[in-house]
Amino acid sequence: MNNNVIYVRGRGEELVDLITAFRNAGFVLRSTRSVEEVILALDVSPLRAIIVDASADDSEIAERSVELANARELYSIPIIFIGRKIRDRLAVLMNQFELLIPVEYPFNADSLLRTFAAAEAQRPDLAVSQEVVSTTDIVLGENDPLAGETSLGGGMLLRGRSIEDFDEDTLLPNTAYRAAVESALDSITTLDEERGLSARRTGYLATTVAGREGIDEAERSSIQTGSLLLHWGAAESQAELPNFGILVSAHAGPNQHLSDMVRLSADLVAQRVSDVESAKVIDAVAQLVAGRGEHLPPELKRLAECILLAEITQQSCMTNGRWDHFGAQRALKMMRGGHLVSSEELKVAFARSLGEAILMDETPKRIYRPARTREERTDNARKISAAAEHGRAISKGRRTKTVRLFELEPGARLAEPLVTNDNVVLVPAEIVVDRELLVRIIELASVRPVRDPIIVLEEDDRTIEV
């Protein structure tokens, strides 16, 4: 089903309520500044509708009307035209376009959606489904994300803003130490509620990734305990800790302080919980933080790296208790160049979790792009067209499949170019995505959205070598 919609932004404030309403209804909405860029986008994918925002003033209505009148390529695409006192000013356009819906500003976004659905229903030639699919359903499927069966952990990373959002029956380990772990977690929360919430985010993310990576139940229990009680020592001593994001810069002083506090947590888990195996994992995290992880046993190191990546990821992504997409970029940058974690598989797993959160994030991204000359725009149009044509050529007669950004795996060969929402070819078709490129793509998507879903060749119809 084609759910692609382009919002042509006006000179006034971006209509955030409108953008949110369309995305919540399952539309893949991207923003642009000109009708010319909409025409370029048609070379890459079909459009279900175009929203034209001319709500700033009368001159903007006139300018947009002229642009649309000259854009014959768009006559067959439904247009939602927003402005002030416009119903009598669009007579010419309504004769040219097959479907044009004038919307008087200000308006109600939900009412506009219903009007659009009704107009489509009267146009059987559009051949579109009237089924409304929520963004959450697209990403997570039918199951509760807390069950960990369909989510990669990104959903709760994005939306877990209070302790009540987390199901402790899922978070706590199913071991003989469960009651003691729960008591310790309650103690941390009583001493510092924000630290208790942070522990739950880390625990949820680490446990979800561990399950996806096939880590067995006993080792996963150590990850659950270790991630939940990682900062027990800091809470007990009421120590002020730097954000784990400081690890990216590898400064010895703050890192050693963090390491000492984590080691204190390991001692507390061994003494008060009597869980020696989980204490060993927490102590291994302390050694990684201090830069002394090279001699750790491989399996112990893997468990510690899972906790460390979960902690760095969730702390980097949260600013004042809310999701920060720039923090997601920092976390992904650390994964690509970080010296503390060696497991490439875990880096990709956490990158995909962030990819899930990035797709679910409905915050409009403001992309800086310098003004381009007509020659530069023409050249970019040629590049887009050539890249799209190349994709059609290499995938002709071959089986393809559609994947979301977070479902992209190392070894996948692109059947179509990967394009940003502002019409820049990021990766051409036929390129094989390796681990490094996968993390880089998700890193860029955190601040400069890419078009999703992505078309790749079926596994038995492509070359696997990276």
Alpha helices, DSSP H, located in 142-192: 154-159, 168-171, 178-191
Mean pLDDT is lowest, of 224-238, 242-256, 257-271, 409-423, for 242-256
Residue 180 to residue 195: CA distance in whole angstroms = 18
User: Residues of the chain with pLDDT > 90: what percent?
Assistant: 41
Q: What's the confidence (pLDDT) of residue 133?
A: 26
Q: What's the confidence (pLDDT) of residue 66?
A: 86
For residue 177, pLDDT over 50 is answered with yes
Residue 103 to residue 80: CA distance in whole angstroms = 7
Residues 6+ positions from 237 with CB-CB distance below 8 Å: 261, 264
Question: Taking residues 306-323, what's their average pLDDT?
Answer: 89
**pLDDT digit string (tens) for 85-109?**
887 778 778 888 889 999 998 888 8
CB-based burial of residue 115 (10 Å sphere; 0-12 exposed, 13-18 middle, 19+ buried)? middle
Residue 15 to residue 24: CA distance in whole angstroms = 14
Residues 6+ positions from 159 with CB-CB distance below 8 Å: 165, 323, 360
Alpha helices, DSSP H, located in 97-231: 109-121, 135-140, 154-159, 168-171, 178-191, 193-212, 217-228
For residue 138, pLDDT over 70 is answered with no
Query: Do residues 257 and 241 lie in contact, with contact meaning Cβ atoms separated by under 8 Å?
Result: yes
Sign of the CA dihedral with 84 first, then 88, 93, and 99 last: positive
120 SS3 class: helix
Question: Taking residues 444-452, what's their average pLDDT?
Answer: 86
Q: Does domain 4-133 have CATH number 3.40.50.2300?
A: yes
Query: Do residues 243 and 251 lie in contact, with contact meaning Cβ atoms separated by under 8 Å?
Result: no
Domain layout of the chain by residue ranges? 4-133, 141-360, 374-461
Best-predicted range by mean pLDDT (119-123, 170-174, 330-334): 170-174
Rg of the chain on CA atoms, in Å? 25
Question: Taking residues 41-64, what's their average pLDDT?
Answer: 87
Mean pLDDT is lowest, of 295-299, 308-312, 366-370, for 366-370
Q: What's the confidence (pLDDT) of residue 338?
A: 66
Query: Do residues 279 and 266 lie in contact, with contact meaning Cβ atoms separated by under 8 Å?
Result: yes
Q: Which two tokens stand for residue 306?
A: 């899972």
Residues 6+ positions from 39 with CB-CB distance below 8 Å: 71, 73, 74
Q: Which amino acid is at 426?
A: L
Q: How far apart are the first and last CA of the chain?
A: 32
What SS3 string covers 328-346? HHHHHHHHHHCCCCCCHHH
More confident residue, 325 or 5: 5
Q: What's the confidence (pLDDT) of residue 242?
A: 59
Query: Do residues 282 and 266 lie in contact, with contact meaning Cβ atoms separated by under 8 Å?
Result: yes
Residues 6+ positions from 251 with CB-CB distance below 8 Å: none
Question: Taking residues 201-224, what's their average pLDDT?
Answer: 94
Q: What's the confidence (pLDDT) of residue 183?
A: 97
Question: Taking residues 290-307, what's their average pLDDT?
Answer: 94
Cα 161 to the chain's mean position, in Å?
A: 17
For residue 335, pLDDT over 80 is answered with yes
Q: Which two tokens stand for residue 431?
A: 């390129």
Residue 78 to residue 126: CA distance in whole angstroms = 9
Sign of the CA dihedral with 58 first, then 63, 66, and 72 last: negative
Residue 368 to residue 421: CA distance in whole angstroms = 13
Confidence band (pLDDT; 50, 70, 90) for 149? very low
Query: Do residues 347 and 312 lie in contact, with contact meaning Cβ atoms separated by under 8 Å?
Result: no
For residue 311, pLDDT over 70 is answered with yes
Mean pLDDT in the chain?
84
Query: Do residues 55 and 12 lie in contact, with contact meaning Cβ atoms separated by under 8 Å?
Result: yes
For residue 201, pLDDT over 80 is answered with yes
